[in-house]
Amino acid sequence: MTDSTSALTSAAVRGYDEQAPTETDTATFGLGCFWGPDAAFGAVEGVVRTRVGYAGGTRSDPSYELLGDHTEVVQVDYDPQRLSFTDLLARAFESHSPHRQTGKRQYQNIIFTASDDQRTQLRRYLAANGHDRERIETRIEGLSTFHLAESYHQKFNLSGSRWVTEPFEEAGYDEADVRESPAAAKLNGHLGGHEVDIPLLTEHRR
Ligand code: MHO
């Protein structure tokens, strides 16, 4: 009987992150508990970095324990050469029903826009898919402030896997480095059960 296990080296992590694109656009979505969309978007080809936080409310210093009127959100930096805001919108709308809003403000579905270009793409996406922004339950808002969530919420799937966290430690990454690491976004997606096509992992037979 053969079994295979994945291996990861600090050199692979560093190498992957060094070649990641630096010219990215940023999109922000509220789609329920942020651990899920953090992993799902992290796995998408063309998504370079992800982070989770709180947005959509007015409280000036939200935390997980004192969220106020904010909502859990995921923020993704994407390579506009490989992925459009429209592609991300398609994924965001596939992952929730625009006809039903979540009662709890913490977990509401919100599409944020942060530029005229994103507003135009959203308007076209809604029209092309028969969604009237006045009638859907999904909140559509301009992004004002994104408040970063606590470190222990970032790339949540990594936390239990020493074979993943150790190479980052060896590479000298601190918590903020891991949060902003393109390799960590892919690995978090992989550990979340999403298909990830990256040269980071080598299969070992044992
Ligand atoms: N406390 C819930 C949701 C966490 S999510 C960051 C759980 O443990 O699944 O809101």
Walking along the chain (206 residues) 10 residues at a time, the average pLDDT comes out as 68 95 97 98 98 98 98 98 98 96 96 98 98 96 97 95 95 98 97 87 56
Name the residue of 33, 74, 105, 108 to mutate for ligand 1: max ligand atoms within 8 A of Cβ: 33
Copy the structure tokens of residue 90.
Answer: 């398609």
The pLDDT value recorded for residue 1 is 43
Tell me how far the alpha carbon of residue 32 lies from the centroid of ligand 1, in angstroms.
10
The pLDDT value recorded for residue 23 is 96
Copy the structure tokens of residue 152.
Answer: 């222990």
Neighbours of 28 (CB within 10 A): 21
The pLDDT value recorded for residue 5 is 62
What is the position in ligand 1's atom list of the atom closest to the CA of 72? 10
Neighbours of 206 (CB within 10 A): 6
**Cβ atoms of 32 and 109 closer than 8 Å:** yes
User: Which residue is closest in CA terms to ligand 1's atom 4?
Assistant: 33
Tell me how far the alpha carbon of residue 33 lies from the centroid of ligand 1, in angstroms.
6
Q: Is 37 a catalytic residue?
A: no
The pLDDT value recorded for residue 203 is 58
The pLDDT value recorded for residue 2 is 44
Question: Which protein residues are within 6 Å of ligand 1, measured from CB?
Answer: 33-35, 72, 153
The pLDDT value recorded for residue 135 is 96
The pLDDT value recorded for residue 7 is 83
Helix runs in the chain, H state only: 10-18, 35-42, 85-94, 116-128, 162-170, 175-179, 182-191
**Neighbouring residues of 79: CB distance < 8 A, sequence distance ≥ 6:** 21, 23, 24, 46, 47, 48
Candidates 20, 33, 90, 148; catalytic one: 33
Tell me how far the alpha carbon of residue 152 lies from the centroid of ligand 1, in angstroms.
12
Tell me how far the alpha carbon of residue 57 lies from the centroid of ligand 1, in angstroms.
19
User: Which residue is closest in CA terms to ligand 1's atom 7?
Assistant: 33
**Neighbouring residues of 160: CB distance < 8 A, sequence distance ≥ 6:** none
The pLDDT value recorded for residue 160 is 85
d(CA 98, CA 162): 38
What is the position in ligand 1's atom list of the atom closest to the CA of 156? 6
- pTM score: 0.93
User: Which residue is closest in CA terms to ligand 1's atom 5?
Assistant: 33
User: Which residue is closest in CA terms to ligand 1's atom 9?
Assistant: 33
Going from the N-terminus, what domains does the chain have, and what CATH number goes with each?
Answer: 4-205 (3.30.1060.10)
The pLDDT value recorded for residue 197 is 80
